[in-house]
Amino acid sequence: MTDEAFGETPARRRVNFGVVSAQLGLVLIIAGFWTVFSIRAPGFLSSFNLFTVGRALAIDIVIGFAQMVVLATGGMNLSVGAIGVCAVMMGGYLMQTLGLPVPVAMAGALALGGALGWLNGFVITRTGVNSFIITLASANLFSGAMLIVTKAVPLNALPPEVGAFGKARIAGFVSPLLLIALGICAVLFVLYRYSALGRNILAAGANARAAAMSGVPVGRVVTISHGLSGVLAAIAGMMVVTRLGAAMPSVGGDDWLLPSFLGPVLGGTLLSGGAVAVVGTMLGALLVTTIRSGLLVLQIGNFWLQLYLGLILLLAVLVDRYRALYAERHGIAR
Amino acid sequence: MSLWLRRLLLVEWSGLAAAIVAGAGALAFIAPNFLTEFNLYVMLRSLSVPLLVAFAQMITLGVGQMNIAVGAIGGLVAIAFGGMMEVYGVPLGLAIPLALAIGALSGLINGLLIVRTGINAFIITLATGSAFTGINFGITGSIPFYKMPPALSGFGDQHWSAMPYLLVAPLIVAALLGLFFSRLAPGRQLLAFGGNPHAAELSGISRGRVVMTAHVLSGLLAAVAAVLAVAQLGSAQPTIGADWLLLSFAAPIIGGAALTGGYISVLGTMFAVFLIGLIQNGMVLAKVDPYWVQFVLGALILAAVGLNRWRAVNSGTA
Amino acid sequence: MNLVIESVSKSFPGVRALDGVSLDLKAGEIHALMGENGAGKSTLIKIVTGLYRPDSGRVLLDGQPVAFGSPRDALAAGVSAVHQERNLIPRFSVGENILLERLPTRNGLVDYGAVEREARRYLGLLDRGIDPRAEVRHLSVAQMQIVEIAKALSLEAKILLLDEPTASITEHETAALFKLLKQLRNDGVAIVFVSHKLEEVFAIADRVTVLRDGKNVATGAPMAEMTRQKLVSLMIGREERVAQMGERAVDRAQIVLEARGLSTSLGHREIDLALHRGEILGLYGLVGAGRSELARAMLGAGRISGGELRVRGEAARIRDMHEALARFRIGYVSEDRKQEGLILMHSIKDNVAITIWRRLANALGLINPRSETRAVAPFIRRLEIRAPSLGQPVGNLSGGNQQKVSIAKWLAANADILIIDEPTVGIDIKTKTYLHELIGEIAREGVSILLISSDMAEMITLADRILVMHGFRLVGEVANDHRYETTSQAIMGRIHAVEAAVG
């Protein structure tokens, strides 16, 4: 008895109509923009621009992932920026003030990020209070604590290899940060598609009650997701540190809030939980970065950027909504 | 715990009132110039804009939704208000209603999109907020309008003893909102919808009308806040509204609003804003590191939520 | 005013809820609408009140076709309904809920004095004990239902639709309600009364329409000509026949699940029960008897306040379902399959494999999709789940197939003790029979089953022994000779004895 009886071919993974068409749409739009931009401004495809865009993209991708892993559980993490900046300052402190080797300092920063994220998750599952409120509070608590401890003093004297890493180029136009982001993308993809933990998370996000009744340890997976979010926020923070060559307390905060949602939402991750689009989040971030960079290169005035982003987001969700209605009417799984 | 104390704690805003009394008492003791007319004036003046911002969000929370664009609408209205006066010479008396109309219109756009597309208010207002900010910065190029009519900035400075003129509008709005939500049928319908949308619709309450009303009012209040902000600053800055978002949620939530909708407290929200203002004022007077403000704000939110949960468990409704 | 429903059909993804259904309601009558769960009664009510649009057919009010676009339109036309689910605003007062769409005002402000007076008037007809100023969220389920009924009455509609209005209220309140309904009928109101309780229908209905699997099997039949047997056979399509299941060996020596003097924070007192290996132990009771609550308390020990639970002979405190399955191999098929038994937006495969993901994962925590399919396939086959592919979202399946999926996951998990709560509610006859056979089969394979059901025929078909619950207490144990008349009478006798004692 084979799998064919159930409409599955063993050699190929089941293709999910809804998600593929969403991502295809995004790819086409992005390709469209790249074409237009590179025609209008040849500098768009210069290795310098590609490098800069790639580096900014890497950071936005990871920030988007930090939010995505919490969206998967049906919640939100408003403290992404706050955790990011705490990690930044911790990393800087370990490197500069304590003089620890850079990899150790970065590991410490990631550990802090994970711990803060875990704390969010712990409070959320213990109290049962909405993640919106808890992370709203913790965002203020974490930023506040960071400001109190660091007195908002930036750390500029980091070991030179940090800034060098941020400026490094592979093949002339690829930033190592982008490769890291892609690596994280691969890991998350495997997590949600092929691991027991990932499936448990999505079940808990789709219907926490049903998942709990089926034996899924909902509290545990939600806490893990928040911890993961914290680690990812910290990674994004470290990336910014390498780009700036310094640890600044002005990083993160509210600046990360919008980008953290744009990537996932544009990419097809559901706000209500239970479904993630890992590649979609990456594409969403790519779209945003593309537009931002394009406007800059075309000298259209950075100021109108927000307007375009808002309109694109609106368009994207409208299209997605009609696609979902279509899929529902024709009985196709998302 | 004694019955008397227990009953008191169960009243919705008692915790806040107690905190305010305790805080003010402590401050009067620690900092001699707390109770001076000037300091009280400064503190009360600083509450004007936050009160309206909090109310703007409180209304959308009441129907069970969120308005992420509250700060963006504020910024847009502020520069439109300043711009029309400075660039087009529109007189103040006409500029104010026009500015309010812009706010209401922005809210209308939000409401329409939400009702027509059926998409989550969070996403819609996230998108429109971005768009409004974009229009704001696109028009101004980040450059403020500095030449505001003296009548306006004068109004922003005037006071009667410790009572700033600026605070009068928010207080009137508070009274009107209180009346609206507790004694007027449309207000009750809004809260009914927030409390149980399905039940409300079954009773013939129109979802479309409720959602639109809430968002238009929210936009309108954001506009009032923007006008007051311009008066307070003496110039129309494009950055007005940039830091409104978190506060707009914090105050109503600390004040006891239910995130899922159906329950808000005008008085609680006011006390929350007052408490936050008190803390900020106190920090300055006591020369405490201003960075503690954010930390304390976060702690306040947790404390308020914790108290609400305790209340729910103990009144048998958890 | 009279109402005619003419050949109405309505389908949802995966299920045809109504197929050419008709009903004619005259002014001044109480018309019962009956049928098993899932027969389409609620859907019909929702179409009349404007919540759903029919796919075909029409509704006529006083001879004029109407198509209510929303409940508001229906209300305006004089049609009011009390639905099965509660539809109240939790933080509003009882009075405000009753008068929600027409709050009395004075000088533009809501007149709360008038609200209270009006509310008291209607509440008084049913239960004087409810304070109109109390917040609805503080009321009990029964009180909430009374408020809903008061609300419908206060609308003084010409056409009143009541969907299971007595589900949660006491006999005393039911009597008051019936008196009221008869009065309204005499005043010319047309009333539709949905119920599956035969005694009630015989008590007040003038005529009856019976639905089965979305179709009419009786339309407007006068109650005077109806007998209990006829009505039942119309509803279930056969005589109240008990299927004969083969013999099964129950190992009386092995007690796999036992409660000794168990009391819970929900109100259970001194519950003793013992489930043997391979046994199907029935737990019968009417709605509200406390059976599901007992099961949940056993599976989430936080709510046990006294006594002891033993699993396979050893004392146990079960923290949650995760522990129940992982440590004790106990499964629970929930009665609310849409909210608790299944994740509607996920696929069949995901819903069945949910209990075995951990087992399927390798050392790195990864799952090979092919081995997942291989693990799940046998159970799909065995339960004859019909779907074009495993990737179908479960929400699109019919009720019967959905229930099969929710059972399949426990079989896949190799659960050894299974608590099954109302397995065939809202399921078509064919699947129902199939599931009964399946339950018998898995018991034969050694799985021990605690079967919770309020379906008498089902209980008598399947159970080896039947415990009777009423008011959160065990009121008796009945041996099952698999004969409907004797066993059902024994069971009902126990319940009536308790009711009589309470007085």
Residue C380 has a pLDDT of 92
For residue A115, what pLDDT band results from cuts at 50, 70 and 90?
very high
Element holding C404 (H helix, E strand): helix C399-412
Mean pLDDT along residues C363-387: 91
Q: How far is B40 from chain A (nearest CA, A)?
A: 26
Q: How far apart are CA C344 and CA C336, in angstroms?
A: 12
Residue A11 has a pLDDT of 29
- Per residue in B175-196, pLDDT (tens digit) is 999 999 999 999 999 999 999 9
Q: How far apart are CA B125 and CA A310, in angstroms?
A: 9
Residue A128 has a pLDDT of 87
Structural domains in chain A, sorted by start: 44-329 (1.10.3470)
* Disruptive mutation site among C328, C354, C356 for chain A (greatest number of A CBs within 10 Å): C354
Is the pLDDT at A116 greater than 90? The verdict is yes
Phi, psi of B262 (to 5 degrees): 95, -15
The percentage of residues in chain B with a pLDDT greater than 70, rounded to a whole number, is 95
Neighbours of A267 (CB within 10 A): 27
CB contact under 8 A, B202 and C137: no
Q: How far is B100 from chain C (nearest CA, A)?
A: 25
Q: How far apart are CA A66 and CA A234, in angstroms?
A: 9
Nearest C-alpha in B relative to C46: B202
Range of weakest confidence among A119-123, B12-16, B109-113: B12-16
What is the rounded average pLDDT for all residues in chain B? 89
Residue A330 has a pLDDT of 61
Mean pLDDT along residues B142-156: 87
Nearest C-alpha in A relative to C358: A196
User: Any CB–CB contact under 8 A between A67 and chain B?
Assistant: no
Burial of B259 (0-12, 13-18, 19+ CB in 10 A): middle
Q: Which of A237-241, C220-224, C260-264 has the highest mean pLDDT?
A: A237-241
User: Any CB–CB contact under 8 A between B50 and chain A?
Assistant: no
CATH of C253-329+416-503, one of 3.40.50.300, 3.40.50.1820, 3.90.1860.10, 3.40.50.10490: 3.40.50.300
Is the pLDDT at A331 greater than 60? The verdict is no
CB contact under 8 A, A215 and C413: yes
Is the pLDDT at A173 greater than 90? The verdict is no
Mean pLDDT along residues C427-445: 86
CB contact under 8 A, A307 and B296: no
Q: How far apart are CA A98 and CA C199, in angstroms?
A: 82
For residue C248, what pLDDT band results from cuts at 50, 70 and 90?
confident
* Disruptive mutation site among B61, B67, B123, B128 for chain A (greatest number of A CBs within 10 Å): B123
* Higher per-residue pLDDT: C16 or B95: B95
Mean pLDDT along residues B198-223: 93
Instruction: Indicate if C253-329+416-503 has the same CATH topology as C3-236.
Output: yes
The percentage of residues in chain A with a pLDDT greater than 90, rounded to a whole number, is 53
Residue A10 has a pLDDT of 30
For residue A249, what pLDDT band results from cuts at 50, 70 and 90?
very high
Reported CATH class of domain C3-236: alpha beta
Residue A18 has a pLDDT of 55
Cite the beta strand spans of C116-246 per DSSP E. Answer: 159-163, 190-194, 207-212, 215-222
Looking at residue C362, what DSSP letter applies?
Answer: -
For residue C502, what pLDDT band results from cuts at 50, 70 and 90?
low
Which residues of B fall within a CB distance of 8 Å from A78?
Answer: 246
Nearest C-alpha in C relative to A192: C366
Nearest C-alpha in A relative to C300: A213
Residue A216 has a pLDDT of 94
Mean pLDDT along residues A111-116: 97
- Map residue C243 onto helix, strand or coil: coil
Q: How far apart are CA B159 and CA B233, in angstroms?
A: 15
Residue A14 has a pLDDT of 33
Range of weakest confidence among B205-214, B250-259, C193-202, C347-356: C193-202
Chains in contact with B, counting 3 or more C-beta pairs less than 8 Å apart as contact: A, C
Neighbours of C476 (CB within 10 A): 18
- Per residue in C263-294, pLDDT (tens digit) is 988 888 889 999 999 999 999 987 668 888 89
Mean pLDDT along residues C457-472: 89
Looking at residue B210, what DSSP letter applies?
Answer: H
What is the rounded average pLDDT for all residues in chain C? 87
CB contact under 8 A, B134 and A152: no
Phi, psi of C476 (to 5 degrees): 165, 160
CB contact under 8 A, A136 and B126: no
Number of A–C residue contacts, CB under 8 Å: 113
CB contact under 8 A, B195 and C108: no
Tell me which residue in A129, A133, A140 faces B294 most closely, judged by beta carbons: A140
Which residues does B contribute to its contact with C (CB < 8 Å)? 179, 183-185, 188, 191-192, 195-196, 198-206, 258, 262-263, 315-317
> Are A45 and A38 within 8 A, CB to CB?
yes
Q: What would the 3-class secondary structure string for C253-296 be?
A: EEEEEEEEEEEECCCCCCEEEEEEECCEEEEECCCCCCHHHHHH
Is the pLDDT at C461 greater than 80? The verdict is yes
For residue B11, what pLDDT band results from cuts at 50, 70 and 90?
low
Q: How far apart are CA B20 and CA C412, in angstroms?
A: 59
- Per residue in C44-78, pLDDT (tens digit) is 998 998 888 899 999 999 889 988 888 888 888 88
Is the pLDDT at C241 greater than 70? The verdict is no
Is the pLDDT at C226 greater than 90? The verdict is no
Residue A189 has a pLDDT of 96
Residue B196 CA neighbour count, 13 Å, CB half: 18
Residue C302 has a pLDDT of 62
Is the pLDDT at A206 greater than 90? The verdict is yes
> Are C328 and C316 within 8 A, CB to CB?
yes
Residue A332 has a pLDDT of 47
Is the pLDDT at C252 greater than 70? The verdict is yes
> Are B129 and B220 within 8 A, CB to CB?
no
What is the rounded average pLDDT for all residues in chain A? 86
> Are C57 and C219 within 8 A, CB to CB?
no
What distances in angstroms separate CA A143 from CA A106, A113, A249, A258, B68, one per listed residue? Answer: 19, 13, 9, 17, 21
Tell me which residue in A136, A144, A307 faces B249 most closely, judged by beta carbons: A136
CB contact under 8 A, B294 and A301: no
Range of weakest confidence among A267-276, B49-58, B101-110, B304-313: B304-313
Residue A316 has a pLDDT of 79
Is the pLDDT at C487 greater than 80? The verdict is yes
CB contact under 8 A, B185 and C83: no
Give me the sign of the Cα torsion angle C259, C260, C266, C267. Answer: positive
Looking at residue B141, what DSSP letter applies?
Answer: T
Closest C-alpha among A130, C262, A214, A172 to residue B66: A130
Nearest C-alpha in B relative to A257: B126
DSSP B92-112: HHHHHHHHHHHHHHHHHHHHH
Residue B228 has a pLDDT of 95
For residue B125, what pLDDT band results from cuts at 50, 70 and 90?
very high
Range of weakest confidence among A5-9, A281-285, C101-105, C132-136: A5-9
Range of weakest confidence among B94-103, B179-188, C283-292, C461-470: C283-292
* Disruptive mutation site among A1, A3, A6, A8 for chain C (greatest number of C CBs within 10 Å): A6
Mean pLDDT along residues C398-417: 91
User: Any CB–CB contact under 8 A between B132 and chain A?
Assistant: yes
- Per residue in C72-117, pLDDT (tens digit) is 888 888 898 998 888 999 999 999 999 988 888 888 899 999 999 9
Going from N- to C-terminal start, the domains of chain C cover 3-236, 253-329+416-503, 337-415
Give C34's contacts (C-beta < 8 A, 6+ positions apart). C41, C194, C195, C196, C201, C208, C209, C210, C211, C231, C234, C235
Residue A334 has a pLDDT of 37
Neighbours of C348 (CB within 10 A): 27
* Higher per-residue pLDDT: C127 or B114: B114
What distances in angstroms separate CA C138 from CA B3, B149, C141, C411, one per listed residue? Answer: 20, 55, 10, 40
Mean pLDDT along residues B133-159: 88
* Disruptive mutation site among B202, B263, B317 for chain C (greatest number of C CBs within 10 Å): B202
- Per residue in B213-244, pLDDT (tens digit) is 999 999 999 999 999 999 999 999 999 998 89
* Higher per-residue pLDDT: C156 or C501: C156
Position of tokens 């911002």? B53
Alpha helices in chain B (DSSP H): 3-10, 14-30, 37-62, 70-86, 92-117, 121-140, 150-157, 168-183, 185-195, 197-202, 207-233, 244-254, 266-285, 292-314
Mean pLDDT along residues C286-314: 85
